[in-house]
Structure 1
Amino acid sequence: MTPRLQPVSYKRHRFPPQIIAHAVWLYFRFPLSLRLVEEMLLERGIVVSYETIRRWGKKFGPEYARRLRRKQPRPTDIWHLDEMGVSIAGRKHWLWRAVDQDGYVLDEIVQTRRNTKAAKRLLTRLMRKQGGLPRRLITDKLGFYAAARGQLMPSVEHRSHKGLNNRAENSHLPLRRRERVMQGFRVPGGLQQFASVFSAARNLFVPPRTRRSTLATHLHRLSATAEWKSAAGVAA
């Protein structure tokens, strides 16, 4: 049985939890800079600095994401793997990401290497978090994936073809847009934390591919908003 998490604590914060949760939602859900979030709150008569919003995102974003991820269905049966290069302080890093057949981000990890060891680390984390093996693994033609799969899950079917892996490659695009708005990331830990919260929020709010009607999308977003508020511990 999964242990119950303690409620989010807002002690020693002068702003109400509803405002904090709303500011964090704006920052991680939309391609907005901290200063734009500050301006949007000011339009509602809420005077708060962008630096305070940054601290709220750093403190509460991971807390909200932990609660959201606990509610997601597992396991899935197809894993799409890919990596995107990110320059941090003049050094190349790699964000290794896994998504399922619906584009739902399963996990992501920032690493300095692009080799078999890095691919194995991603697969090891996935097996632990998903509680088992996938039915199929889909990657591009990078040989490190085949080597890691052969060592960790040799019985799993592996399809290696660039055209089959658009789902994983497309999952990088929203983060790329945020990277431009934020003018890059300053430290690897900052990228890891931001990507984790950003993906949890995106997983929650983007409607499944099978529910694309206007009404279904509207209902999905209402449900997602209620779930976000529940994770933040604020009244719906």
Structure 2
Amino acid sequence: MKKTRSLYHGHRFPGVVISCAVRWYFRFNLSLRDIEELLLERGVVVTYETIRCWCDKFGAGFAQRAKMARRKPGSTWHLDEMFITLRGEPYLLWRAVDEHGAELDILVQKRRDKAAAKRFFKWVLRSTPVPRKIVTDQLRSYPAAKAEIPELANVRHVFVKAAARLNTRAENSHQPTRERERRMRGFRDRKRTQQFLSC
């Protein structure tokens, strides 16, 4: 019988320490130096740069396994976008959550037009089944892009007034991102921001 190689093969620290550090970083509002300090209190001497490498290497895999373990996504999508600043430039963070508040997917893009909305719909459809209903604010890019995607053309589309804050599922899901952005004193790179927020 062939033995499978451990996910942590070749690393100096055991898998328990690595997975604990990565989970703390993505789950709680902690910096890499905070995690370095927490591990030091437990007798593990490791630098924050090593923790960053662990997060880059294992974060996406952990997020994928966590998504597979949670319940099946709901049949209603709540979509919203928010502005984030990357090195002084405004970008849009597009986010989709289901009716239970579970995040389906995110995408960082420069624009807010029909092409960007279409790209986001396709991005979410990669990992999520076709919804029964889509709830958005009154941004005109959503219905224009939805009409061009065959899978979504017949899906019911509900608009809510942004001022009324009725689309609370998507609005509330932005709060952890805002807290993390403040903690990290802003995001820097588009690719790394996409990778970090996806985890």
User: Residue 20 of structure 1: which of 14, 18, 21 is its match?
Assistant: 18
Q: In 1, distance between residues paired with 2:113 and 2:183? A: 30
Instruction: State which drifts further: 70-79 or 161-170.
Output: 70-79
Q: 1:95 to 1:101 in 2, by over 3 A?
A: same
Moved more, 172-181 or 61-70: 61-70
In the alignment, the residues of structure 2 paired with residue 189 and residue 41 of structure 1 have an alpha-carbon distance, to the nearest angstrom, of 28
How many Å apart are 1:7 and its aligned residue?
Answer: 6.7
- Give, as a single letter, the amino acid of the residue that structure 2 aligns with 1:37: I
Q: Which residue of 2 aligns with 1:96?
A: 94
Who is 1:114 aligned against? Answer: 112
The structural deviation recorded for 1:12 is 2.1
Gaps of 5+ in 2: none
Gap change, CA 1:35 and 1:70, over 3 Å in 2: same
Of residues 138, 147, 156 in structure 2, which corresponds to 1:141? 138
Which residues in structure 2 correspond to 1:34-183 (within 5 Å)? 34-131=32-129, 133-152=130-149, 153-161=152-160, 162=162, 163-183=165-185
> How many residues are aligned here?
191
Matched, 1:195 2:165: no
How far did residue 76 of structure 1 move?
2.5
**Over aligned residue pairs, what C-alpha RMSD do you find?**
1.6
Q: Larger relative CO (CA 8 A, sep 6+): 1 or 2?
A: 1
Residues 86, 77 of structure 1: alpha-carbon distance in 2 compared, 3 angstrom cutoff: same
| TM value normalised by structure 2 | 0.89
Secondary structure of 1:164's aligned partner: coil
**How much has 1:89 moved relative to structure 2?**
1.7
Per-residue deviation, 1:195: 0.6
One-letter amino acid matched to 1:49? T
Measured against aligned partners, the alpha-carbon deviations of 1:90-120 in whole angstroms (never above 9, x if no partner) come to 2111111100001100111111111111111
Shift of 1:73: 4.0
Query: CA 1:101–1:7 in structure 2 vs 1: closer, same or farther (change >3 Å)?
Result: farther
Letter in 2 for 1:135: R
Asked whether the 8 Å contact 1:78–1:134 carries over to 2, the reply is yes
The one-letter amino acid paired with 2:65 is R
Contact kept in structure 1, 2:73 and 2:104, CA below 8 Å: no
| Structure 2: distance between partners of 1:85 and 1:148 | 20
| Structure 1: runs of 5+ lacking an equivalent | 1-5, 198-236
Stretches of 4+ moved more than 4 A in 1? Answer: none
Fraction of identical pairs, as percent: 49
Question: Relative to structure 1, is the Cα distance of residues 136 and 35 closer, same or farther in structure 2, using a 3 angstrom cutoff?
Answer: same
Whether the aligned pair in 2 keeps the contact of 1:86 and 1:92 (CA below 8 Å) is yes
Is the partner of 2:148 in helix, strand or coil? helix
SS of alignment partner, residue 129 of structure 1: coil
Higher helix share: 1
Measure how far apart 1:68 and its partner are: 2.3
Counterpart of 2:168, as a letter, is N
Query: What CA distance in whole angstroms lies between the structure 2 residues aligned with 1:173 and 1:73?
Result: 22
